[in-house]
Structure 1
Amino acid sequence: MKKIINILGVSAMLLAFTSCEDWLDMPSEAKADSSTIFETVGRAEMTVVGCYANTFNRELYYQFGMGTDECISTEGTTNSKNQVANYQYTTSNIPTSTYAAMYKGIEYANVCIKNLPLMTGASESEQKKINSLLGEALAIRAMNYWNLVRFFGDVPYSDVPVADLSTFSSSRVSRDVIYDHCVEDLQRAVELLPWASEGMVATPERFTKNSAYGILARVALYAAGYSLRWDLSTVPYNVGTVQIARRSDAVRVKELYEIAANACKAIVEQKENSLLDDYDDVFRSLMLGEYNDETMLEYGQWGADVNGSAVGYTNGAFAHTNSSFKKSAPQMVAIPTYYFEFEDGDVRRDVTICNYGITASDIHQMNAYSTGNVGKFRVNWKSEVGTAQNKRDINWPVLRYSDVLLMYAEALNELNNGPTTEAIDALKAVRKRAFGGDESKIGTIPTTHDDFLNKIIEERKLELGFESWRRTDLARWGILYETLTNEKAKLLQLAKREGEYATVDKYRAYKESKATFEDPTIAVKYLSVPEDKLDAKTLETLEKKGVVDITLYEDKNGNTYFSEADVPADAETKEVAYKILDMFGSVSTNNSNKVAEDQAWMTTQLFRGLEKNKVEILPLNTTSIIDINPGLAGQQHPCY
């Protein structure tokens, strides 16, 4: 008797994870046996496509994307999202949606991986399609397990459908074992999948050989890197065994770096992917639903059903409810110091950090330092509102070619105890685009291992900001605690305008402008305002209100003067309305924080739960995860 695959609920265990979520509708009845689902290539393809719905979750960029030297939470300290973003973990406030979604996707993939090899194509092209579908399922399973391991460490592992198991419970399995399985899955996937240029896969919302190679490189780097570990052999776990370390097998670590380097090399040498000339076009394409040669894998979102991660709403530029763009209410912003990490002329700064919000009357309102909005997913770069204000039809960039180049450089540096020519060239390509193609601004590339690695660490922050990699990147380098501790010290230095921040602008002047759909505006242009150009009354108003209206004088050559006395005698000028903003103040569209050394959000609230050898891996939610799986009894993170 055939075992029934319950498409809308594979197991009681999984349903317990996802009681508040609807399972993805499949192409046939709610219940169908494997011969029905996999009897035609078309049905099999729809089943594989169904797996993708559970490869991404809002928590990945929201709770798990904040709390870094890029991004912080603006929600209240009693809000669980703010608590998780500031490492104030408990066994009850840890979110579970990602955990549930990843396992749901794994179960779907396991069903496909079991049944696809049993199919026989009626033609060579059909068999090639079946092989490609199997490659997709393998890649999905690997990517989902990687997401679980990078946040939760050692987790339950199964590579067979739940219906084939004698028990639904599972204990933690070593992350090294899981990572090695993921690497094997991805190595099989790249053999089965077609290159994008072959035309078998019409969209980057699905795996091709290109993107599978990229995810293979990513997984291999994590598998070779550092993580918070403890001895799994004794339950309950001994807190004294907790440490940040690599896997102990040095030979395997080297193999993993070789796997990562070779995977990236395969993509580079295939020459199907490339960097777009203009950095902002990468994200404008996402806003407009257009594909390009740089974004290699996207999580597709469209319509009312598969569109729940609120990209552009939770993590975009603020837009007022009554604006033409409808409400965009970001609860995450750039940490103020991030803005100053970018060198002069680096075009990525104003794309990554949007320096304005949009008012009810569709005006670009410049924000103070405390509210650098997430700029890559701004709603005014779309051509329309989208399905709804919290369902903007914006795909998530899972893999970009620039990431591949940086991974290539990193892996080669590790393999050779210093950068090779290929590693330097890969880094240079990313930096050249960052400066608008001006190679003279790339700067000196380090040639020693440690200095080059530090350059990669910094470059990933600048290139991939707000794309949800930073927290676990820092963890795999073993520097999460040190980096965030240093960043908090830098933030206090900024508040005092000391050290490297001694000359940053206190005041800036800007002209209001209109926001539009497909808005060409990347950043509101501003003038630095010397304090000696402002009279006592203006300074007093700025101290009280944070912003003041002022009239400046512009000549026909575009020069601006702060008073009539500054205007040359032979110059023809006109009066122009400006606003002067206290950049350390609290005037912004969506955040009332100041940058000042007496502010609690900076001194006592930011990263308040940060503790080395503890927070690098999240505990499991006791009620929603441990209590419903007997195999996890006594297997909580030993520090919680």
Structure 2
Amino acid sequence: MNFFNKNIKKAGAAFLIVGALAISSCNKYLDEQPVSSLTTAEAFSNVESAYKVLLSSYSQLAGDNAFGIRLNIYYPMGSDETMNPSENSDGGRRSISRYEVNAANTELLRPFNQLYYGIECANICIDNIPSMAAYNSSNEAEKAAARRMYGEALTLRAIFYQEIIKLWGDVPATYIPASKLTENFLPKVDRDVIYDRLLDDLAIADEHLPWRTEVAADERITKGAAKALRARIALFRGGYSLRRSPVQMVRGADHLKYYEIARTECDAIIKSGKHALAPTQKELFQKYVCGVNTPVDPYGELILQVGMSDLGNRDGIQQAGSKLGYACGPRVNNLGNNFILILPTAFYKFDSLDTRRDVAVAPYDVAADGVTKIGKKLEELRDGKFRRDWITPAVSPTSNSQYFGVNWPLIRYSDVLLMYAEAVNEINNGATAEAVAAFETVRKRGFAGNESKIGTTPTAKADFFNAIANERLLEFMGEGLRKYDLIRWNLLATKVSETKANLLKLANREAPYQNVPLFMYYKTTSTADDYTMWATSYYNGNGPTGSGSVAGATRVNWAGTSTSGAESPIKTVTLARYAIGFTPNKSELFPIATEALSNARISQDYGY
């Protein structure tokens, strides 16, 4: 029976609630107190029952405290791509965006606990599935099903641990169910030790998982996902991270060994032919990500995604939905809550011919009719990949719902291509023809229709790395990757400082922003969701009639102000709020939430 579809999280969470998952308690290192209605033997007596337990691990990736909003929307803000629009710290998400976070922040504890709960769920599966009769059955289909679940559980555990490490650094770690622990509390473990274990686990998972083309099309973990995740973790293992003693950014030892793992895994995915890019980013996100009931994309670009339900918190119980389309993206009929904005400087990173600009950025809200666009100012740019007005089945413009069942893409094939190019460049001290080809495959898709105008790809090591770093910003804008890429490259402090300087240049319309318009005109009755909604250009001064009017269009104070001589809001609003509390060699990680410090063996580090 296939439980894994667009409603997987609903199914998994429901099973968790009735207690079938909760074979052992997590309270030895968390504050979770699940109840049990099945014994271990009953839960793992057959493939179908065991799969329901596995779904409970999958379900911990979703909901408000995971990739429903916090891990992917709140936490990644404050790099050189996004920020929260609010002017004040709030002890929550706004403080996170501004790097004014402390151990009392209200957004820290629940994701920390849920990630560990996901690990516990996975540990239960990993501990019990190999003992199932089906795991060594003479029935090949049954054996394949059991072994696939084992590979999925190993991969899920790696996902949870990687999220915890990249957010909190060294953390407690266990690989057995809590019921088998001999200690009441666990100390922190060096992240490199955990990463090495995860890399070994994912190599085992690879052997147990099918390629996507060998099984029914759904959202379950496949071989490509395990390989891609192994490549990603290897690059983090070989990259920089904030260390405890001394507190500074340090690169992982023997980093080329880990870049070689990443290269090998990405090369295997590329050569397999099992995954490809969708023809355009817009088709991928509008049709297959925002298309809630649309089948999984036929190209296999969505290598790994979090399946979501359309349920949120009901009756005090955390369900497994996502707020994509509510917490981010354009407002429709003034409904929705755009918690994040695309930075003006990030918008102007795009070439005018790059089609990804009009996917990553939505410079509009939507009127009460659900289709007519209302242009926004440059300091109010909405992120565009998870748009309420793209969701199908269509969301009514009068709907007050916060949950629409939009999946979160964890790893796309374009990531594999760019990870491959990055790894090869580092290993070979410069770009090879194969690395250039992988890089240009992504870039040419972005310039669809103008592929010959992508520019000349450099091959010297530093220049090619810079091209990759810029391409990853453009390709994954708004997808929660940028901040952590910059950290593993030890560039977050540099890019935050650079962005502040560029915001000031833009506000003053200094090079390279001297032609950015002070105002723009959007077509008053336009229903277009791209640049054609505008009657004037993003790149050419103040439009065809200066400060006058444009027939059939409405004026927006784009980079300027309606008051003559007043300072640009890019300075007085955006720059005044952007990353104001950022502190190098501290802000790269979060503090441990105060409540979690009840475990006396966990120290509060990194200057918090």
* TM-score computed with the length of structure 1 as normaliser: 0.83
Match of 1:626 among 587, 597, 601: 597
What secondary structure, in the 3-state scheme, does the structure 2 residue paired with 1:31 have? coil
Match of 2:124 among 101, 111, 136: 111
Whole-angstrom distance in 2 between the partners of 1:92 and 1:494: 36
Q: Does 1:607 align with 2:575?
A: no
What is the aligned partner in structure 2 of residue 474 from structure 1?
A: 486
Q: Does 1:304 align with 2:272?
A: no
Q: Does 1:360 align with 2:368?
A: yes
Match of 1:244 among 238, 249, 252: 249
Deviates more, 1:382-391 or 1:80-89: 382-391
Write the deviation string for residues 534-589 of structure 1: whole angstroms up to 9, x where unpaired: 58xx66xxxxxxxxxx453xxxxxxxxxxxxxxxxxxxxxxxx22122212579xx
Write the deviation string for residues 223-280 of structure 1: whole angstroms up to 9, x where unpaired: 100000023xxxxxxxxx1111112x32xx2221111111111110111111111220
Whole-angstrom distance in 2 between the partners of 1:533 and 1:303: 46
What is the aligned partner in structure 2 of residue 563 from structure 1?
A: none
What is the aligned partner in structure 2 of residue 211 from structure 1?
A: 225
The alignment of Structure 1 onto Structure 2 pairs a total of residues equal to: 560
Whole-angstrom distance in 1 between the partners of 2:542 and 2:325: 36
Q: 1:288 to 1:15 in 2, by over 3 A?
A: farther
Whole-angstrom distance in 2 between the partners of 1:315 and 1:418: 38
What is the aligned partner in structure 2 of residue 69 from structure 1?
A: 80
What is the aligned partner in structure 1 of residue 48 from structure 2?
A: 42
Deviates more, 1:388-397 or 1:462-471: 388-397
What is the aligned partner in structure 2 of residue 269 from structure 1?
A: 271
Query: What is the CA-CA distance between 1:503 and the residue it aligns to?
Result: 1.1
Whole-angstrom distance in 1 between the partners of 2:490 and 2:95: 22
Is there any run of 5+ residues in structure 2 with no aligned partner, and where? Answer: 1-18, 313-318
Q: Tell me the amino acid that sits aligned with residue 39 of structure 1.
A: S
What secondary structure, in the 3-state scheme, does the structure 2 residue paired with 1:471 have? helix
Q: 1:357 to 1:151 in 2, by over 3 A?
A: same
Whole-angstrom distance in 2 between the partners of 1:594 and 1:171: 52
Whole-angstrom distance in 2 between the partners of 1:532 and 1:255: 53
Q: Tell me the amino acid that sits aligned with residue 160 of structure 1.
A: I
Whole-angstrom distance in 2 between the partners of 1:207 and 1:600: 43
User: Contact 2:120–2:177 (CA<8 Å) still a contact in 1?
Assistant: yes
Query: What is the CA-CA distance between 1:99 and the residue it aligns to?
Result: 1.2
Q: Does 1:581 align with 2:590?
A: no
Whole-angstrom distance in 2 between the partners of 1:406 and 1:95: 31
Whole-angstrom distance in 2 between the partners of 1:135 and 1:551: 60
Whole-angstrom distance in 2 between the partners of 1:360 and 1:196: 41
Residues 212-611 of structure 1 aligned to structure 2 (within 5 Å):
212-231=226-245, 241-247=246-252, 249-250=253-254, 253-284=255-286, 285-289=288-292, 290=294, 291-292=296-297, 293=299, 294-304=301-311, 306-321=319-334, 327-362=335-370, 363-383=372-392, 384-385=394-395, 389-513=401-525, 515=527, 524-528=533-537, 534=545, 550=549, 552=551, 577-585=552-560, 595-596=568-569, 599=572, 601-603=574-576, 605-611=577-583
User: Contact 1:170–1:630 (CA<8 Å) still a contact in 2?
Assistant: no
Whole-angstrom distance in 2 between the partners of 1:359 and 1:636: 48
Q: 1:111 to 1:586 in 2, by over 3 A?
A: farther
What secondary structure, in the 3-state scheme, does the structure 2 residue paired with 1:509 have? strand
Query: What is the CA-CA distance between 1:438 and the residue it aligns to?
Result: 3.1
What is the aligned partner in structure 2 of residue 126 from structure 1?
A: 142
Residues 132-211 of structure 1 aligned to structure 2 (within 5 Å):
132-199=148-215, 202-203=217-218, 205-211=219-225
Q: 1:631 to 1:511 in 2, by over 3 A?
A: same
Q: 1:380 to 1:521 in 2, by over 3 A?
A: farther
Q: 1:12 to 1:255 in 2, by over 3 A?
A: closer
Whole-angstrom distance in 2 between the partners of 1:147 and 1:76: 28
What secondary structure, in the 3-state scheme, does the structure 2 residue paired with 1:616 have? coil
Whole-angstrom distance in 2 between the partners of 1:345 and 1:598: 28
Query: What is the CA-CA distance between 1:65 and the residue it aligns to?
Result: 1.8
Query: What is the CA-CA distance between 1:524 and the residue it aligns to?
Result: 2.0
What secondary structure, in the 3-state scheme, does the structure 2 residue paired with 1:136 have? helix
What secondary structure, in the 3-state scheme, does the structure 1 residue paired with 2:266 have? helix
User: Contact 1:368–1:586 (CA<8 Å) still a contact in 2?
Assistant: no
Write the deviation string for residues 263-300 of structure 1: whole angstroms up to 9, x where unpaired: 11111011111111122011011111332121111111
Q: 1:477 to 1:439 in 2, by over 3 A?
A: same
Query: What is the CA-CA distance between 1:533 and the residue it aligns to?
Result: 6.0
Q: 1:14 to 1:69 in 2, by over 3 A?
A: farther
Sequence identity of aligned pairs in percent? 32
Write the deviation string for residues 300-331 of structure 1: whole angstroms up to 9, x where unpaired: 1123264433111111112124xxxxx22211
Query: What is the CA-CA distance between 1:18 and the residue it aligns to?
Result: 5.5
Whole-angstrom distance in 2 between the partners of 1:191 and 1:463: 30
Query: What is the CA-CA distance between 1:109 and the residue it aligns to?
Result: 0.4
Whole-angstrom distance in 2 between the partners of 1:600 and 1:374: 18
Whole-angstrom distance in 1 between the partners of 2:197 and 2:32: 25
What secondary structure, in the 3-state scheme, does the structure 2 residue paired with 1:500 have? coil
Query: What is the CA-CA distance between 1:17 and the residue it aligns to?
Result: 4.3
Q: 1:469 to 1:428 in 2, by over 3 A?
A: same
Whole-angstrom distance in 1 between the partners of 2:229 and 2:276: 17
* TM-score computed with the length of structure 2 as normaliser: 0.87
Q: 1:283 to 1:18 in 2, by over 3 A?
A: farther
Question: What's the C-alpha RMSD, in Å, of the aligned pairs?
Answer: 2.4
User: Contact 2:516–2:559 (CA<8 Å) still a contact in 1?
Assistant: no
Q: Tell me the amino acid that sits aligned with residue 447 of structure 2.
A: F
Q: Tell me the amino acid that sits aligned with residue 265 of structure 1.
A: D
Whole-angstrom distance in 2 between the partners of 1:156 and 1:442: 46
What secondary structure, in the 3-state scheme, does the structure 2 residue paired with 1:221 have? helix
Q: 1:523 to 1:468 in 2, by over 3 A?
A: farther
Q: Tell me the amino acid that sits aligned with residue 605 of structure 2.
A: H
Q: 1:530 to 1:191 in 2, by over 3 A?
A: closer
* Larger Rg computed on CA atoms: 1
Q: 1:522 to 1:266 in 2, by over 3 A?
A: farther
Q: 1:378 to 1:218 in 2, by over 3 A?
A: same
User: Contact 1:339–1:349 (CA<8 Å) still a contact in 2?
Assistant: yes
Whole-angstrom distance in 2 between the partners of 1:502 and 1:330: 29
Q: 1:523 to 1:333 in 2, by over 3 A?
A: farther
What is the aligned partner in structure 1 of residue 10 from structure 2?
A: none
Q: Tell me the amino acid that sits aligned with residue 220 of structure 1.
A: A
User: Contact 1:136–1:207 (CA<8 Å) still a contact in 2?
Assistant: yes
Q: 1:511 to 1:533 in 2, by over 3 A?
A: closer
Whole-angstrom distance in 1 between the partners of 2:606 and 2:448: 49
Whole-angstrom distance in 2 between the partners of 1:460 and 1:11: 41
Q: Tell me the amino acid that sits aligned with residue 184 of structure 1.
A: D
Q: Tell me the amino acid that sits aligned with residue 247 of structure 2.
A: V
Whole-angstrom distance in 1 between the partners of 2:148 and 2:103: 41
What is the aligned partner in structure 2 of residue 51 from structure 1?
A: 57
Write the deviation string for residues 572-622 of structure 1: whole angstroms up to 9, x where unpaired: xxxxx22122212579xxxxx98436515413x321111111111111112
Whole-angstrom distance in 2 between the partners of 1:594 and 1:163: 62
